[in-house]
């Protein structure tokens, strides 16, 4: 019985050091079982990765990069796990792309080297980045960022900032225009600064996601544009007497790397990320087949509402992200007649696509539904842990994800 006394004495536990409290709460969230075990034992929502499909995707992209004479520098933001990065790099512990300094920190602590932090750096992040400068390259696309680095000075004694210049190949989010005089001057300031060296010219064609679904020739055109933009910029720099002999070139998004151009001459590296699992959006784009999608969000039926023809599930946007609402947030595997109509924070509602009556008998309370998510990077990011499953959907491994910013 909960009495005032026990309540008071339990408050004492709150006086434990905060770190101990955090550790214990994290440990409590870990699965109590040791693999292998069935997915029925998982608390939902949970994110699973189909090991075989993922390994197929991973080896296919590695083979493709080799056939194009490129190094694969996978973007690991899709999963943010040590095990995933080892698979993607063929256990090299090297050459990654990341999008946060906390990923950079996680992977450098795990002895990975040669990591591109591929978001232009702002001044607030410089000090933290400086501590990882032996292994982490930083990205810029304007002179203010560069001036902040230069006024900070060398990242460490007798060391230089290793600089990546982001090039815009048509996305219009970030990156320098390869044809602008300012872009040439930016590179000139990098190579003439005592505390910087130019490592790479990098582009990511995020607009490859915006083509009409299934228009593969439009994607191929964009993959040529990626290549041409960085090759052209490198040539322009050379013509302007900037020494770019050892400067690398990199391209990539999952749509463009899934449909690369006939050749990537002049390009050293590819850096797709999402291909690790693909997702429902990539399937519609034409990057993969539905059977290649390796990531699923598991949710359970929690209630039947015949009057409104709805099922409630225990997954809201905190379980799979709010992206892709207009496309049902992805699709429910093996239940093609159903669609996720709405996601709230921790609850979602499912109905039929065509308005016909739900066959409630098919979906008893407690039944697991498997969502092929709209955007796997966003869905996985909602979770601290990925459950890796074999062909029989037994959990065979549990991976911890790097967290935070």
Ligand X SMILES: Cc1ncc(COP(=O)(O)O)c(C=O)c1O
Residues engaged in binding ligand X (CB under 6 A): 75, 97, 118, 204, 206, 252-254, 271-274
Residue matched to tokens 């930016």: 186
Question: How far apart are CB 229 and ligand X at their closest, in Å?
Answer: 14
Establish if 220 lies at the interface with ligand NAG (CB under 6 A).
Answer: no
Task: Report if residue 292 touches ligand NAG, rule: CB under 6 A.
Answer: yes
Least Å distance, CB 278 to ligand NAG, is 6
> Rounded to the nearest whole angstrom, what is the least distance from the CB of residue 105 to ligand NAG in the complex?
12
Query: Considering only 52-60, 156-164, 211-219, 235-243, which stretch makes contact with ligand NAG by CB under 6 A?
Result: 52-60
Task: Work out what residue 110 binds among ligand NAG, ligand X, none; the CB cut-off runs from 5 to 8 Å by kind.
Answer: ligand NAG
Contacts with ligand NAG: how many residues (CB under 6 A)? 8
- From the list ligand NAG, ligand X, none, which binds 204 (C-beta under 5 to 8 Å, kind-based)? ligand X
3-state secondary structure 351-396: EECCCCCCCHHHCCCCCEEEEEECCHHHHHHCCCEEEEECCCCEEE
Supply the minimum distance, in Å, between the C-beta of residue 110 and ligand NAG: 5
In terms of CB distance, is 61 or 244 closer to ligand X?
61
Neighbours of 115 (CB within 10 A): 23
Q: Give buried/exposed letters for 338-359 (b at 16+ CB in 10 A, else e).
A: bbbbebeeebbbbbbeeeeebe
Options 110, 235, 243, 345; binder of ligand NAG; rule CB under 6 A:
110
Q: Which residues, in sequence order, are CB contacts of 57 under 8 Å at separation 6+?
A: 275, 276, 277, 278, 288, 292, 294
Residues 288/57, Cβ–Cβ less than 8 Å: yes
* Backbone CA torsion sign across 383, 384, 388, 392: negative
Helix (H) or strand (E) holding 183: helix 181-192
- φ, ψ of residue 224 to 5 degrees: the values are -70, -40
Q: What does the per-residue mask of binding to ligand NAG show for 226-265, with x meaning CB under 6 A?
A: --------------------------------x-------
Shorter beta-carbon distance to ligand NAG: residue 169 or 282: 282
Report the alpha-carbon distance of residue 48 to residue 45 in Å, rounded.
Answer: 10
| Whole-number Å distance between alpha carbons of 365 and 368 | 9
CA dist 328 and 278 (Å) reads 17
Q: Is the CB of 292 or the CB of 314 nearer to ligand X? A: 292
Least distance to ligand X, CB of residue 130, Å: 21
Task: Determine if 67 is a binding residue for ligand NAG (CB under 6 A).
Answer: no
> Residue 147 binds which one of ligand NAG, ligand X, none, with CB within 5 to 8 A depending on kind?
none
Minimum distance from residue 338 beta carbon to ligand X (Å):
28
Residue 212: helix, strand or coil by DSSP? coil
Q: Does 288 bind ligand NAG (CB under 6 A)?
A: yes
SS (H, E, C) 225-250: HHHHHHHHHHHHHHHCCCCCCCCEEE
Q: Which residues bind ligand NAG (CB under 6 A)?
A: 56-57, 60, 110-111, 258, 288, 292
């Amino acid at each position: 019985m909960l009495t005032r006394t026990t309540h008071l004495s339990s408050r004492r536990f709150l006086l434990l050091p905060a770190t101990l409290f955090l550790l214990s709460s994290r440990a409590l969230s870990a699965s109590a079982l040791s693999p292998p075990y069935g997915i029925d034992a998982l608390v939902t929502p949970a994110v699973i990765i189909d090991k075989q499909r993922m390994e197929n995707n991973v080896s296919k992209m590695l083979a493709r990069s080799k056939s194009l004479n490129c190094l694969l520098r996978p973007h690991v933001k899709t999963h943010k796990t040590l095990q995933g990065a080892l698979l993607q790099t063929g256990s090299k512990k090297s050459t990654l792309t990341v999008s946060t300094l906390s990923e950079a920190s996680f992977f450098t602590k795990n002895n990975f080297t040669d990591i591109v932090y591929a978001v232009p750096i702002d001044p607030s992040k410089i000090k933290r980045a400086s501590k990882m400068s032996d292994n982490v390259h930083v990205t810029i696309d304007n002179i203010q960022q560069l001036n902040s680095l230069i006024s900070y000075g060398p990242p460490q004694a007798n060391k230089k900032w290793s600089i990546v210049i982001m090039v815009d190949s048509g996305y219009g989010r970030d990156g320098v225009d390869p044809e602008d005089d300012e872009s040439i001057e930016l590179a000139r300031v990098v190579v003439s600064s005592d505390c910087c060296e130019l490592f790479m010219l990098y582009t990511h064609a995020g607009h490859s996601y915006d083509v009409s679904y299934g228009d593969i020739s439009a994607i191929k055109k964009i993959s040529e544009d990626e290549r041409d933009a960085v090759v052209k910029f490198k040539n322009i720099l050379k013509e302007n007497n900037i020494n770019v002999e050892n400067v690398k070139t990199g391209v990539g998004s999952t749509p463009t790397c899934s449909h690369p151009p006939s050749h990537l001459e002049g390009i050293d590296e590819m850096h797709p990320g999402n291909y690790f699992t693909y997702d429902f959006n990539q399937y519609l784009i034409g990057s993969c087949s539905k059977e290649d999608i390796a990531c699923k969000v598991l949710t359970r039926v929690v209630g039947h509402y015949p009057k409104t023809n709805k099922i409630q599930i225990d997954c809201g946007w905190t379980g799979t992200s709010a992206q892709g609402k207009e496309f049902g947030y992805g699709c429910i595997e093996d239940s093609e007649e159903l669609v996720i109509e709405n996601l709230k924070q921790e609850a979602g509602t499912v109905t039929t696509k065509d308005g016909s009556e739900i066959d409630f008998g098919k979906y008893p309370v407690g039944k697991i539904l498997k969502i092929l998510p709209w955007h796997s990077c966003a869905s996985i990011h909602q979770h601290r842990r990925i459950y890796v499953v074999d062909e029989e959907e037994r959990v065979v491994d549990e991976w911890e994800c790097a967290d935070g910013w």
